[in-house]
């Protein structure tokens, strides 16, 4: 392939699927990872290897990356996008849902970073783009644990960036505000879900996943000597 391999997690919908489409249009081979295989296949993207993988399973992730590497060459960019948002007032929170957010939003991202970082450092090239959130920069009611996972992801990304800067590897955080994806539907607390939708309506709507995907592609397409350390992207009308 004339262009290097891009790996995208959570590629079955929302930001992940939109990101897969813009990178495919830019001519990159892809490894798409998500728990649901069929939606990734339905994208019908060229030079795309689709694997049903739970990012909490580091061994399964590693096998998928090895298969893609054998076919398309080394990973030049990992987009850690997979995540869940299960919001509720803290005193009504479900510890099982807390564990799911911590395991997917944080440990899952770490699994992918660990797999690709050493090879990128050895090659003196590569990019890791972690999809954080405005909830990793400020707190929101009913988002205590979700905010915790995103604050942690932002901190980990910045720390690893410092460690790998001398190896010319870029660590980038893209921090969206309100985006219209399936993420809000994960929330089982109806009042939180309806409050999100009501506020989105008041401000003229949330962002599209395609807008975030374009920002991801832009940050990646900057010269390797340029690292967009963090980008916060929100609807213009979003106040918090």
pLDDT of residue 1: 63
Q: Which tens digit of pLDDT belongs to each residue from 172-229?
A: 999 999 999 888 777 778 888 888 889 999 999 999 999 999 999 999 999 999 999 9
- Is the per-residue pLDDT at 7 higher than 90? yes
pLDDT of residue 185: 77
Q: With respect to residue 96, please indicate whether it lies within any of the assigned structural domains.
A: yes
pLDDT of residue 120: 98
> How is 3-44 classified by DSSP, letter by letter?
S-EEEEESTTSHHHHHHHHHHHHTT--EEEEES-SHHHHHT-
pLDDT of residue 234: 97
Q: With respect to residue 181, please indicate whether it lies within any of the assigned structural domains.
A: yes
Q: Which residue has the higher pLDDT, 199 or 162?
A: 162
Q: Which residues are catalytic?
A: 146
Q: How far apart are CA 61 and CA 68, in angstroms?
A: 11
CATH number for 145? 3.40.50.720
Q: Which tens digit of pLDDT belongs to each residue from 89-101?
A: 999 999 999 999 9
Per the CB < 8 A criterion, the answer to whether 75 and 5 are in contact is: yes
Q: With respect to residue 152, please indicate whether it lies within any of the assigned structural domains.
A: yes
pLDDT of residue 110: 98
Give me the domain span that covers residue 81: 5-233
Q: With respect to residue 226, please indicate whether it lies within any of the assigned structural domains.
A: yes
What integer is the mean pLDDT of 128-157?
A: 97
Q: With respect to residue 239, please indicate whether it lies within any of the assigned structural domains.
A: no
Burial class (CB in 10 A: 0-12, 13-18, 19+), 152: middle
Mean residue pLDDT across the chain: 96
When divided into structural domains, the chain yields a total of 1
For the chain, state the CA radius of gyration: 17
Q: With respect to residue 37, please indicate whether it lies within any of the assigned structural domains.
A: yes
**39-43, 160-164, 184-188: segment of lowest average pLDDT:** 184-188
Q: How far apart are CA 156 and CA 199, in angstroms?
A: 30
Q: With respect to residue 238, please indicate whether it lies within any of the assigned structural domains.
A: no
Specify which residues 6 forms β-bridges with: 30, 77
Q: Which tens digit of pLDDT belongs to each residue from 51-80?
A: 999 999 999 999 999 999 999 999 999 999
pTM of the model: 0.95
Q: With respect to residue 240, please indicate whether it lies within any of the assigned structural domains.
A: no
- Is the per-residue pLDDT at 8 higher than 70? yes
């Amino acid at each position: 392939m004339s262009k290097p391999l891009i790996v995208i997690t959570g590629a079955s919908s929302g930001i992940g699927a939109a990101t897969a489409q813009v990178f495919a249009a830019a001519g990159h081979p892809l490894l798409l990872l998500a728990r649901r295989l069929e939606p990734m296949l339905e994208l019908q993207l060229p030079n795309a290897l689709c694997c049903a993988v739970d990012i909490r399973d580091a061994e399964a992730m590693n096998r998928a990356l090895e298969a893609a590497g054998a076919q398309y060459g080394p990973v030049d960019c990992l987009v850690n996008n997979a995540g869940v948002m299960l919001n509720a007032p803290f005193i009504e929170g479900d510890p099982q849902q807390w564990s799911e957010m911590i395991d997917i939003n944080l440990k899952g991202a770490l699994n992918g970073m660990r797999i690709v970082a050493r090879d990128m450092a050895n090659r003196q090239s590569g990019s890791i783009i972690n999809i954080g959130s405005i909830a990793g920069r400020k707190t929101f009611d009913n988002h205590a644990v979700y905010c915790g996972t995103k604050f942690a992801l932002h901190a980990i990304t910045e720390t690893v960036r410092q460690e790998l800067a001398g190896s010319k590897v870029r660590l980038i955080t893209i921090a969206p505000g309100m985006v219209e994806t399936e993420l809000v539907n994960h929330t089982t607390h109806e009042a939180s879900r309806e409050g999100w939708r009501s506020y989105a309506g008041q401000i003229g709507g949330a962002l599209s996943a395609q807008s975030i995907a374009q920002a991801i592609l832009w940050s990646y397409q900057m010269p390797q000597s340029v690292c967009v350390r963090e980008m916060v992207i929100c609807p213009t009308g979003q106040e918090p």
